Amino acid sequence: MVEHLLAKEKVAGSIPVSRSIFISIGRRRQVVRHGSAKAAPAVRIRSSPPIRRDFTCRVFFYLCKVFLMRAPHSYSTEAIVLKRTDLGEADRILTLFTPGKGKIRAIAKGTRRPISKLAGHVDLLCRSQLQLAMGRNLDIVTQAEGRENFQRLRNDLWHMTCGFYLAELVDRFVEDQTRHYDIYVLLLDTLRYLDADANALQQQLASMGVNMDDTSKDAINRVPTGQQEGQTRLLLRYFELRLLMAVGYEPVLQHCVSCASEIRPEENGFRASLGGVLCPQCSRHWERRLSLDALKTLRYMQRVKWSEAARMRPDTRLHSELEALMYDLLRFHLERDMKSWSFLEMMRKA
């Protein structure tokens, strides 16, 4: 019996195959030995038969195919519509500002047709949840669901113009496909403040007995006066300053941009091309004067939220000074005027 067992062991080799673990890496096979203290020749295991290899390859390629097929061809995103451009007879190209992808452009097919289901959800300034199919050049909007359309803002021409101005600013300053979540939040919050402003104005007019259903030219061109207009103008300056800060063009307000001396509480100067305030000793570089009130207002808006900045009550002179200064800065960085400026000016003079 013992002789018989020894004979079996001799035939199988010095190490029983059952005591080996096969590790397969691709088509290579290795044998890892356990429990064998003595040196012994590695057991050569015959490779898998061709049929089994063929089956493994097929499974591998099938899994690759399934994985590739699952690569997304569409995606969902929230977006604010910044701009619309006509395309062909019935389509539009939308410039969208999204929280995750930044500014993108997409085609909204058929949105110029009266029966379009998408049209109402992709109006200018609308915040919508969109489904987009990835296209070769531009993505295509396949579904849209409006979340906020700022209806009260749209009912008032002055506030609507302000809203379009914000959208134009973002469109000019933000590069395509660059994520700017902070600017997205800034734009959304500012549109909400404008909407609330418009609502306050409408309630004020209603309390004065103005017919809100009156669609005559005079009624539509209701330009807020006094304090309310001042708040909206201050909100625009706040947005401009915050936008410049977000894109890296924050004006220098703490020290002189020419000699680096600390700015003292007195009348100073300003030059947009130098990026900030100039002290009286560097008056040769002044482009415009900067009053102490304007300097304090800008510094305050640099560091507080709008809820705090909104408590300020600048007079008309200070509003004009801040506006001219911010326009200088924006014009310098954009190297052109904004389309909305002349319209906003016209609205105020109306």
- Chain positions contacting Zn ion, by CB under 5 A: 256, 258-259, 279, 281-282
Question: Least separation, in Å, of the C-beta of 254 and Zn ion?
Answer: 12
Nearer to Zn ion, 98 or 258 (CB): 258
Give the nearest distance from C-beta 264 to Zn ion in angstroms. 11
Q: What end-to-end distance do the CA atoms of the chain give, in Å? A: 117
> Residue 256 or residue 347: which is nearer to Zn ion going by CB?
256
Whole-angstrom distance, CA of residue 29 vs CA of residue 115: 66
- Are 153 and 191 a contacting pair, CB within 8 Å? yes
Report, in Å, the least distance between residue 274 CB and Zn ion. Answer: 10
* Identity of the residue, 289 or 317, whose beta carbon is nearer to Zn ion in the bound complex: 289
* Helices marked H in the chain: 2-12, 50-69, 151-154, 157-173, 181-207, 217-220, 226-246, 292-303, 306-309, 316-334, 339-349
Contacts of 117 (CB under 8 A, 6+ apart): none
State the DSSP H helix or E strand holding residue 106, giving kind and residue range, or none if neither: strand 102-108
In angstroms, give the least distance from the CB of 240 to Zn ion: 25
In the bound state with Zn ion, the residue whose beta carbon lies nearer, of 145 and 267, is: 267
Using DSSP's 3-state secondary structure scheme, residue 79 falls into strand
> Residue 89: phi, psi to the nearest 5?
-90, -30
Report, in Å, the least distance between residue 289 CB and Zn ion: 14
Q: Show the CA angle centred on residue 162, arms to residues 159 and 168, nearest 5°.
A: 145
Strand pairing of 102-108 and 139-148? Answer: parallel
85 vs 281, which CB is nearer to Zn ion? Answer: 281
Q: Which is nearer to Zn ion, 186 or 279 (CB)?
A: 279
Least CB distance to Zn ion at residue 249 (A): 21
Closer of 128 and 258 to Zn ion (Cβ): 258
CA-wise closest residue to 259 among 238, 240, 274, 246: 274
Largest CA-CA distance found in the chain, in angstroms, rounded: 118
Which residue type does 44 have? R
Q: On the CB side of 79, how many CA atoms lie within 13 Å of its CA?
A: 29
Distance in angstroms (rounded) separating the CA atoms of residues 102 and 175? 8
| 30 Cβ neighbours under 8 A, 6+ residues apart | 22, 23
Q: How many residues does the chain have?
A: 350
Strand partners, 93: 85, 107
Angle between helices 226-246 and 292-303 (to 10 degrees): 60
Least distance to Zn ion, CB of residue 283, Å: 9
In terms of CB distance, is 154 or 285 closer to Zn ion?
285
* Residue closer to Zn ion (CB basis): 224 or 251: 251
